[in-house]
Amino acid sequence: MTAPTHTKKYIAFLRGINVGGHHKLPMAALKTVFKTLGYTDIVTVLNSGNAIFKATPKKVEDIEKEIEKTLKATFGFPIPTCVRDVAQIQDLYESNPFEGIEVTKETRLYISFLKEQRTAVLALPWISLDKSYQILEARDTSIISVLDLAIAQTPKAMGILEATYGKNITTRNWKTIERIIKKL
């Protein structure tokens, strides 16, 4: 008789899939890949590569490598992946990082996930010269930022993030994080 396997809940954030018709990856196929890796209770959120799942506890870096290797072998292109323990996302959500931010229909609240902690050369909070983009704070491997679309569009803001923190980053709108929390 084998002992029951202990599992832990994680969230994977895949970068650059299903954007502008490139790097198509159906969520059903993503679930299949996760099942082949031995993950269970897989739930995808939206079509932008967000998956909640259970796995045998291990370092998130190891899970990221395992997912990236299998996705590349399966789909033929690299898919950078950031994995977080569910408790990290719940703590981030409960901390209400956008408290005090005036939100209009043109406001976008973002959480960017880094693969590894990096120190920015910017003094935080940082505001762009045109006042359209703010990086409010960095928490471990998460960057909290706000974009005002009435002033500027997303690509410039994302370029600032990559120039500051590197390309090992993926960004989600706060509404996506809220949806993930509801699925938990």
Is the model's pLDDT at 3 over the cut of 50?
A: no
pLDDT tens digits along 133-168: 999 999 889 999 999 988 876 667 778 888 888 888
22 has a pLDDT exceeding 80: no
What's the pLDDT band for 41 if we cut at 50, 70, 90?
Answer: very high
Contacts of 134 (CB under 8 A, 6+ apart): 125, 126, 127, 128, 145, 146, 147
Please tell me the predicted confidence (pLDDT) of residue 64: 97
pLDDT of residue 57: 94
- In-domain check, residue 82: yes
- Asked if the structure places residue 180 within a domain, the reply is no
* pLDDT (average), residues 76-94: 95
Give the model confidence (pLDDT) of 45-60 as tens digits: 998 899 999 999 999 9
Picking from 88, 121, 146, the residue at the C-terminal end of a domain is: 88
pLDDT score at 154:
65
CB 15 within 8 A of CB 81: yes
Two tokens at 40?
């269970």
Q: Work out how many domains the chain is built from and give that number.
A: 2
Question: Does residue 93 belong to any structural domain of this protein?
Answer: no
- The pLDDT mean for the chain works out to 90
> Would 2 be classed as within a structural domain?
no
